[in-house]
Amino acid sequence: MTGSLDVVLSNDGGRIAGRVVDAAAKSVILAPETPRPERSDLYKRAPVDANGRFSISGIAPGAYQILAVQDPDPGAYRDPAFLEQFKNRSYRVRILAGEVISFELE
């Protein structure tokens, strides 16, 4: 069997920083818009501080959904069924290489 494999490495990931309005939310979840459970690197979870601020960095370019939730079980946010229950409360966002986005979540 012959073939080739191209590996691209970059330190030019995107970043989202912002504020969560809902005081009950303890985490912000960023997940690919199209579920990709085999790609754990595309799923991010960030804590929300006492002022409602959060920051997520090292985001690969692509289309994502972002949402604020109470603390989920570790890894639960990689499960498409978990994310499906929040689809009406999530926002769509597209990240480009090196892009920094400011976001306010309700």
Tell me how far apart the alpha carbons of residues 61 and 77 are, in angstroms, rounded to a whole number.
19
pLDDT of res. 103: 86
- Which pLDDT score, from 0 to 100, does residue 8 have? 61
- Locus of tokens 């289309």: 63
pLDDT along the chain (106 residues), means of 10: 67 90 92 90 94 95 94 84 88 92 88
Write the single-letter amino acid at 32.
Answer: P
Per DSSP, the chain holds a count of helices (H) and strands (E) of: 1, 7
